[in-house]
Structure 1
Amino acid sequence: MGYGLAALNKLAGVGVIDRLGLRKQLERAVYSSSKAGFRAVASVGAANRSFAAVTRRSQAERPRTSSGTGLFDLTPSDEQKMIVEATAEFAAEQLRPVAAEADSECAAPETLLKRSVTELGVTLVGVPEALGGMGSERSATTGALVAEALAHGDMGLAVACLAPAAVGNALVLWGTEEQQSTYLPSFVGDDVPAAALAVLESRPLFDPFTLHTTATRSGDGFVLNGAKSLVPRAATAELFIVAADLEGSPALFIVESGTTGITVEAEPAMGLRAAATARLMFEDVTLPATALLGDASADVYAECIRLGRIGWSALAVGTGKAVLDYVIPYVNDRKAFGEPISNRQAVAFKVADIAIELEGARLTMLRAAARADQGLSYAREAALARRLTAEYGMKIGSDGVQLLGGHGFVKEHPVERWYRDLRAAAVMEGVVLV
């Protein structure tokens, strides 16, 4: 594979390629070959990687509570500004150009996913410095700002990039010393495994606190049965954190992909297609006692759901901002009857409504994240953020399509893709964790 790619790249530098009009075809070949090559490497890694404790610590490492003033202040710190600027640049330069093709192919380019780790360090934000990350305090707000900035490029690709970070964050927040020593070292290096937090189940009016996937005690361990829906990158994932009912209460379990009894079935959806979503099925999957995360605490599971909902709110806000940033120049440039259509009150008011709804949802989302950082109760704020972004997200997407008229219905413009992605904010659970 390496020699073939080297030859293709060398050929790409020959001037005659441009004279013959073969530049696009060659670039396509290089892209497809490199993508297939990285997929092959990823598959081998998934089959051969062995998670084992590297360095044992005396106790589990937790991020400390944010040392804020107690006042609600939206001003980001200098460190947060740097992280958000780098993320926004990555989203604009790396995600946005390949988003349409990733949506069409129902897969994110492996090279991009790798760059999100090596260049952006998305899995390091929530990991304390003592464990090899770059976080010093509880960082729900930073995680939300990162999710928002990535989603401004593309929500589906943002989910694909952030899915492993959710597993790393869960291990930091609730993992035991043994669990952290075994799994976290893989999340702070350059070869971060594909991983996902699987909560959603395929049934109407799904309630994450009433699960049909079950875990029953068996000897010194557990037996897992059931299915999870819309799990990102499930086909190539090496590690899952799975929500299952344990003796009448929901709990979280660490599950390695190589465990016997796990099958994956492709499940492309209306939106988030670039995240390569799939159905994850468990049939008599045997887990050790050490697979239980958070000691089956009801508070731990509730916090997991709330942090995930803040994450989805942040993704919806970022995509909604992308819609707003796209429609404003469009309605100013598009002319009808000799003047821009933005001169019409109906158009101007609809754009204003998008901005107002977006700002309200963003303020609520950031307030929930800030309270989580300070160790305060944030259940109400997380619920409000989810409610607002579920309603406003779909409305913003629909209004964006409407403002573009016939152009909103075709794939030449990205608003139809953002509309499909925004509907995920109302139905998805888990997957992201700020």
Structure 2
Amino acid sequence: MTVERLLPDTEAEDLIALARDIATQELAPLAGEYEEKERFPREQFRLLGRSGLLGLPYPERYGGGGGVGYEVYLQVLEEIAAAWLTVGVGLSVHTMSCYALAEHGTDEQRAEWLPGMLGGDLLGAYALSETGAGSDAAALVTRATKDGTDYVVTGTKAWITHGGEADFYTTMVRTSPDGGRGVSCLLVPADTPGLTAGAPERKMGMTGSTTTQMIFDGARVPATRRIGAEGDGLKLALTALSSGRLGIAACAVGLAQAALDEAVAYAKQRSQFGKPIIEFQGLEFLLADMAAAVDSARATYLDAARRRDRGMPFKRQSSVAKLVATDAAMKVTTDAVQVLGGAGYTKDFPVERYMREAKVPQIFEGTNQIQRMVIARELRTV
């Protein structure tokens, strides 16, 4: 089903139509096979780069989309995620990985590295989490010690999307023992000696997206690759996460929309007792609730995106969007399996994969329990 959208201009409409065409023609036909074979879609990310979709929120002079705001970027992301969640989430992660450099790098750093990152030649990963520092990011212990003109980095990052496949890692490291104020940001090339990827995690969903530990064993990173000042890392990380959570919200809505479309199509063609099952009230009410959940979730991320585009505070709205959209995706995909009945529990239909994939958006970019804490904390300061 094509979603009716209220778009700010014709250029935005054309951009979302382009994303929908790529999603339908180039991504959706491959998604099931790649996920089943746990095959990483590197060429599909290069395609997004060549199509101008890999750096939409960033400056045009470096290969980005220039004036494209988050309201439009997130709708592009939703179209891609509806076809293939692995690629949608990957695009969101890449966008977040570019944030520190694009917004806080020097002109020289941007000119050297940003064009390749936005053009598709370089795929990014975001290395913040550790085994003992997930929700409590300030507790990270991966250490970067200054040695001449380099930092020597030692430690292990965990749950890294694109681990072992990325070309660069936006990495938060400890440069002093001063808690959250002792964290700095390094842009680490994948070919840095002393940096290796652990074995891929064995996941229940999004199996085409590689997730690994990244192990730093005395990895030497030039100090010229530090983004911002020493001690700015946690601030950069948390600011990027506010926008990244909107990306996950849009991806969750795309996944939920795909599940709803599959359920409606099945209910129209499946007959029992002499008529299509979509005509039974018990089922049509279930589908109506699914549609309401998708539309409501979309409205939350668009509201937050519009606030971001206007320079208004959006931290609380970002957490609301992530919470509402990912919870909705889990419910809608579960209900889609129910609509299909026994068929929904088989791998002959994609809804069982959608249901498995819907779980992890409730966890990454800050669990939904953390989102509730952020929302409550923001309310206390009003």
Query: Under TM normalisation by the shorter chain, which class is it?
Result: 0.7 to 0.9
Residue pair 1:215, 1:222 contacting (<8 A) in 2 also: no
Residue-by-residue CA offset, 1:313-337 (whole Å, 9 max, x unaligned): 0100111111111111211221222
Residue pair 1:163, 1:195 contacting (<8 A) in 2 also: yes
Aligned to 1:85: 17
Aligned to 1:206: 134
Aligned to 1:424: 360
- Distance, in Å, in 2 between the alignment partners of 1:223 and 1:353 is 54
Secondary structure, aligned partner of 2:193: coil
Give the 3 Å change call, closer, same or farther, for CA 427–141 of structure 1 in structure 2. Answer: same
The Cα RMSD (Å) is 2.4
Pairs within 5 Å for 1:34-433: 75-118=7-50, 120-136=51-67, 139-189=69-119, 192-202=121-131, 206-207=134-135, 209-219=137-147, 221-246=150-175, 247-249=178-180, 250-265=183-198, 266-295=200-229, 296-297=231-232, 298-429=234-365
Structure 1, 342-351 or 99-108: larger mean CA deviation: 342-351
Structure 1, 79-88 or 167-176: larger mean CA deviation: 167-176
Identity of matched residues, %: 28
Q: CA deviation at 1:364?
A: 1.0
- Distance, in Å, in 1 between the alignment partners of 2:105 and 2:202 is 31
Residue pair 2:96, 2:243 contacting (<8 A) in 1 also: no
- Distance, in Å, in 2 between the alignment partners of 1:368 and 1:346 is 34
Q: CA deviation at 1:414?
A: 0.8
Residue pair 1:268, 1:278 contacting (<8 A) in 2 also: no
- Distance, in Å, in 1 between the alignment partners of 2:254 and 2:13 is 16
Aligned length in residues: 354
Residue pair 2:245, 2:365 contacting (<8 A) in 1 also: yes
Secondary structure, aligned partner of 1:210: helix
Q: CA deviation at 1:162?
A: 4.9
Q: CA deviation at 1:188?
A: 4.5
- Distance, in Å, in 2 between the alignment partners of 1:399 and 1:213 is 42
Secondary structure, aligned partner of 1:404: helix
- Distance, in Å, in 2 between the alignment partners of 1:78 and 1:211 is 46
Give the 3 Å change call, closer, same or farther, for CA 254–80 of structure 1 in structure 2. Answer: same
Secondary structure, aligned partner of 1:284: strand
Structure 1 counterpart of 2:239, which letter?
Answer: E
Structure 1 counterpart of 2:31, which letter?
Answer: A
- Which structure has more relative contact order (CA 8 Å, sep 6+)? It is 1
- Distance, in Å, in 2 between the alignment partners of 1:244 and 1:309 is 22
Aligned to 2:371: none
Secondary structure, aligned partner of 2:208: helix
Structure 1, 176-185 or 286-295: larger mean CA deviation: 286-295
Residue-by-residue CA offset, 1:257-282 (whole Å, 9 max, x unaligned): 12222111222421211222222222
Q: CA deviation at 1:378?
A: 0.5
Give the 3 Å change call, closer, same or farther, for CA 225–352 of structure 1 in structure 2. Answer: farther
TM-score by length of 1: 0.75
Q: CA deviation at 1:213?
A: 4.1
Secondary structure, aligned partner of 1:269: coil
- Distance, in Å, in 2 between the alignment partners of 1:216 and 1:117 is 32
Q: CA deviation at 1:83?
A: 1.0
Give the 3 Å change call, closer, same or farther, for CA 229–404 of structure 1 in structure 2. Answer: farther
Secondary structure, aligned partner of 1:375: coil
Give the 3 Å change call, closer, same or farther, for CA 185–233 of structure 1 in structure 2. Answer: same
Residue pair 2:34, 2:208 contacting (<8 A) in 1 also: yes
- Uncovered stretches (5+) of structure 2, i.e. residues with no partner: 367-382
Q: CA deviation at 1:109?
A: 4.1
Give the 3 Å change call, closer, same or farther, for CA 270–294 of structure 1 in structure 2. Answer: farther
Give the 3 Å change call, closer, same or farther, for CA 286–270 of structure 1 in structure 2. Answer: same
Give the 3 Å change call, closer, same or farther, for CA 165–426 of structure 1 in structure 2. Answer: same
- Distance, in Å, in 1 between the alignment partners of 2:15 and 2:75 is 9
- Distance, in Å, in 2 between the alignment partners of 1:378 and 1:161 is 21
TM-score by length of 2: 0.85
Structure 1 or 2, whichever has the larger Rg, is 1
Residue-by-residue CA offset, 1:145-203 (whole Å, 9 max, x unaligned): 121110010101323455444333442122222321221131344x6122212234446
